[in-house]
Amino acid sequence: MGFRRHGPFQAGDQVQLTDPKNKRHTLTLKEDGVFHTHKGWIPHTDLIGQPEGSVVRSSGGTQYLAFRHLLQDYTLSMPRGAAVIYPKDCGQIVAMADIFPGAKVVEAGVGSGALSCFLLRAVGAEGTLTSYERRADFAEVATRNVEKFYGGEMKQWRLVVGDFVEALDETDVDRIILDMLAPWECVDASAKALTPGGVICCYVATTTQLSKTVETIREHGSFTEPHAWETLVRDWHVEGLAVRPDHRMVGHTGFLVTARRMADGVTAPPRRRRPSKGAYGEGTEGQ
């Protein structure tokens, strides 16, 4: 199957309808389908054959904007087996882990498939994505979500139900993404699978996980100095001269850590900056 359809709406397309109050509704077009709300109804045939960006009117007179889903909208509305990685973090992973067309990528912890959708788009038709998930029920949800968005089976995607460390069989991997409770347990296996220059990227929720992950990567010896950060997103209200930040924002969702794989037998030079006193506990010094 291809990545996305373009052109006029067709039966089978997922369409997002947005009303004047910016409330969004998602429907899958059917020849005999009808969209019902308290504001009236719209036959799907009013949409089929129309271009994206059309306006349709319900029987009650309400106008709706009609577009195909953006990936960010889809991932926030998809059925969930596990919590999804927010689009702001998926975007950071694709950019900061340098996921490129044709890349050989491995992810561990597929969740509901949100990140998988972003990674598949980034690696393109010539790349590959292998996803490892311990829970079969999460894997089933992720498979349905990915195939629903892309319109069918993705030949460049392989989903393995099993433990990452035990089941990993790839070598010369360009990028490894770890989204799990204890990514530090997978650092050694990741080092063995990554090609020199490859990137490991870990997504964790708490500062305790962040510290353990960074220190394990740092102490392993096969990676460059880890880089840790988080992103915060704040929308703005803009109406004439009334320009102000929104009262609500997408704050902390998780931390990201990246590092590069060194060449075999090579260790990175030691850090010049000394850690602050007590950073590693009383009576100890950072290495």
Angle between helices 114-123 and 87-96 (to 10 degrees): 30
**Does pLDDT of 38 surpass 90?**
no
Distances in Å between the Cα of 85 and the Cα atoms of 93, 110, 114 are 10, 10, 6
**Does pLDDT of 5 surpass 50?**
yes
pLDDT of residue 107: 97
Mean pLDDT lowest for which of 1-15, 65-79, 165-179? 1-15
**Does pLDDT of 12 surpass 90?**
no
CA distance 188 to 205: 21
pLDDT of residue 169: 92
pLDDT of residue 77: 82
pLDDT single digits (tens) 40-51: 999 999 999 999
Which segments are annotated as binding site for S-adenosyl-L-methionine?
112-115, 133, 163, 179
- CATH number of this structure's domain 73-260: 3.40.50.150
CB 85 within 8 A of CB 114: yes
Mean pLDDT lowest for which of 10-19, 125-134, 192-201, 257-266? 10-19
CB 222 within 8 A of CB 193: no
Cβ count near 110 (within 10 Å): 28
**Does pLDDT of 287 surpass 80?**
no
**pTM metric for this prediction:** 0.87
**Does pLDDT of 178 surpass 80?**
yes
pLDDT of residue 76: 85
Instruction: With CA atoms as reference, report the closest residue to 262 among 215, 208, 200, 184.
Output: 200
- Residue 1 — very low, low, confident or very high, per pLDDT cuts 50/70/90? very low
CA distance 37 to 5: 27
pLDDT of residue 286: 47
- Residue 211 — very low, low, confident or very high, per pLDDT cuts 50/70/90? very high
The 3-class SS string of 95-152 reads: HHCCCCCCCEEEEECCCCCHHHHHHHHHHCCCCEEEEEECCHHHHHHHHHHHHHHHCC
pLDDT single digits (tens) 67-110: 998 899 888 888 887 778 999 999 999 999 999 999 999 999 99
Q: Decide: helix, strand or coil at residue 257.
A: strand
- pLDDT > 70 in the chain, percent: 93
Which residues lie closer than 8 Å to 27 by C-beta, 6 or more apart? Answer: 14, 15, 17, 33, 35, 44
Residues carrying CATH 3.10.330.20, the chain: 14-68
**Does pLDDT of 19 surpass 90?**
yes
Distance of CA 60 to the CA centre of its chain: 38
Beta partners for 173? 194
**Does pLDDT of 183 surpass 50?**
yes
CB 31 within 8 A of CB 47: no
Instruction: With CA atoms as reference, report the closest residue to 46 among 96, 8, 93, 101.
Output: 8
pLDDT of residue 100: 97
pLDDT of residue 274: 67
- Residue 194 — very low, low, confident or very high, per pLDDT cuts 50/70/90? very high
**Does pLDDT of 187 surpass 60?**
yes
**Does pLDDT of 221 surpass 70?**
yes
**Does pLDDT of 35 surpass 50?**
yes
pLDDT of residue 151: 86
Q: What's the whole-number mean pLDDT along residues 156-179? A: 96
Instruction: With CA atoms as reference, report the closest residue to 212 among 254, 268, 251, 257.
Output: 257
Mean pLDDT of the chain: 91
Query: Fold for domain 14-68?
Result: Vcp-like ATPase; Chain A, domain 2 (3.10.330)
> Given its phi and psi angles, is residue 172 left (phi above 0), alpha (psi -120 to 50 degrees) or beta?
left
CA distance 284 to 39: 67
Residues carrying CATH 3.40.50.150, the chain: 73-260
